[in-house]
Structure 1
Amino acid sequence: MDRFTGSLNKIKNIDLPLLVIILFLAGFGLMMIYSSSSTLGYLNYDASNHFFLKQLQWLLLGCTLLAIVAFIPYQLYSKLSPLFVFASITLLILVLLPGIGVERNNSQRWIQLGFMLFQPTELIKLFMLIYFAAFYSKKQEIINQFNRGVLPPLLILAVIFLLILRQPDLGSAALILFGCGIIVLSSGVKLRHLLMLGSIGMLSVAYFALSSAYRLERLTSFINPFSSPSGDGYQLINSYIAIGTGGITGNGLGRSIQKLGFLPEAHTDFIMAVVLEELGIIGLIFVVSAYIFIMFRGVAIAKACTHLFPKLLAIGITFQIMLQVVFNLGAVSGMLPITGVPLPLISYGGSSTIVSMISFGILLQISA
């Protein structure tokens, strides 16, 4: 109770510039979702604002949860971290069960919650960051002992990684692996242990990417999309066209051609292609600048922490958001494989939007 009262007193110290840029970026995303999905909404639902209204509902829910989480003492998450691990494994098992998990596009990644399709991996990204930050902040006295101070969370991470691959969702699995790896890197683990773990992590991702013909084809299609212009390369080729026609200033808000059925589901993972087509390089500079600002504020919050748990958690949240940005922009531009990772706060999607807002709520609470 004392900690909760203390949080109420400290909330006036919340990082307001960070909050403003988060809300501004979310508002920008809402505008671009309407612009990029209006044609699809009209054709499929007879309402050009269909996707806009759904995203608005999720964003309002996300803002409400952000406000609630900003008042909850971050110490509580450390105590609940074992429960988060149990919930993560349970959710990943449930999503694979027939009748519970929902299959879309040859992937079983969702659970139907009535008003929305919920993607458990989005929440598990946050749960695993909390667990890793809690574990390594408590094990500093034995951090140099690999078996006791380093290994236990990695075994759980391996189970999570394999369960997510069963969906299959290599992009989310890799994100969780790299996000948790950043916390391990920041926790004071010996360099030789880091090199060994990094090698194992990279080899694991490479092995599972190469072990499936479907995953390999998806991952390598970005190298030469023109070899399959009507197949795996179709989406990337149309992304190139959108980006190429935008120029410096773009064709104008709402004037995208690619969103008229050429770029599949342009309001989701490839929404940045529409941003570039309509707003040009200026739109890209705005979006990237906003994310860079978030990154610097997140690092500043982590550096200001006097205790290790919030420091590690702030670092984990900040860089996992940045990893998603890199994965998404890399895919849209053809510099990285297409993994289906959404652009935080901008891409359409309830699970991603809500969990991103909760994550930022925790970061703001730490800043306070």
Structure 2
Amino acid sequence: MGAILLLSGFGIVMMYSASSIYAMNEYDDYLYFFLRQTRWLIIGTVLMFLIGQMNYRHLKELAYVLIFFSWIFLIMGYFFKGNNPASRWLVLGGRSWMTTSDFARVSLIIFTAYFVEKNKKYLKDWKFLLFRFTPILGISLVLILFQPDTSTTMIIAAIIMVMLFIAGTDWRYLTGLSIAGVIALILKIMNTPHAMDRFLNW
């Protein structure tokens, strides 16, 4: 807890140092961004403490509910994005409330943990995984990928792959999933001009 608060506090100070002049020019208040971030830091710390008192095992009972709502939020991001060119933020009432992929990331991690625990005896059955797990993973990743948010999609996919590998999932399924992911990523980059430019520059 101490390390988290220390790092968060350091980040707030650095953010203030980098944004104070811009905040003064745009909002006539040096502390505009500092106060906003501090408020969310306090809210987040309180929520972290409260959730930390919960028995995390109860979260598996909400696995499908969390996935469902993550899809709702991701879809809402496409329609309620304000003036943002991308659909990563959910904007309601002129305010950005959340990055929808953050909720989807947590939901997928919880769902994957629940799925592998419940279906331990089927983790070597690639056909079972293909029809019971892949659609849920695929829908979430596609909705994030076309926000567009390629980097977050790759990070979430990597996390889920590591979880499946540690759980002892069939290597053929993991290999096929990896190949499909790489192909989808290549096609997305090739059909997204700015992503292709960034890739070539890299």
Q: Is TM > 0.5 for Structure 1 vs Structure 2?
A: yes
Structure 1 position 88 matched with structure 2 position 67: no
Cα deviations across residues 151-201 of structure 1 (Å, max 9, x unaligned)? 522211111122223321112222221121111111101233322222222
| In 2, Cα distance between equivalents of 1:138 and 1:170 | 30
Structure 2 contact 89–96 (Cα < 8 Å) conserved? no
- 1:128 corresponds in structure 2 to 108
Pairs within 5 Å for 1:1-368:
19-97=1-79, 100-104=80-84, 106-114=85-93, 116-149=96-129, 151-221=131-201, 223=202
- In structure 1, list runs of 5 or more residues that go unmatched: 1-18, 224-368
Flag the 1:122–1:103 CA change in 2: closer, same or farther, 3 A: farther
Q: CA deviation at 1:145?
A: 0.8
Q: What is the letter of the counterpart of residue 89 of structure 2? A: W
| In 2, Cα distance between equivalents of 1:38 and 1:220 | 35
Q: What is the letter of the counterpart of residue 35 of structure 2? A: L
The alignment's TM-score, normalised by the length of structure 1, stands at 0.52
How many residues align structurally?
201
Richer in helix (by share): 2
Q: CA deviation at 1:132?
A: 0.7
Structure 1 contact 132–183 (Cα < 8 Å) conserved? yes
Flag the 1:110–1:167 CA change in 2: closer, same or farther, 3 A: same
Cα RMSD for the two superposed structures: 1.7
Q: CA deviation at 1:65?
A: 0.5
Q: What is the letter of the counterpart of residue 186 of structure 1? A: I
| In 1, Cα distance between equivalents of 2:133 and 2:83 | 30
Q: What is the letter of the counterpart of residue 109 of structure 1? A: R
The alignment's TM-score, normalised by the length of structure 2, stands at 0.91
Q: Higher relative contact order by CA 8 Å / sep ≥ 6: 1 or 2?
A: 1
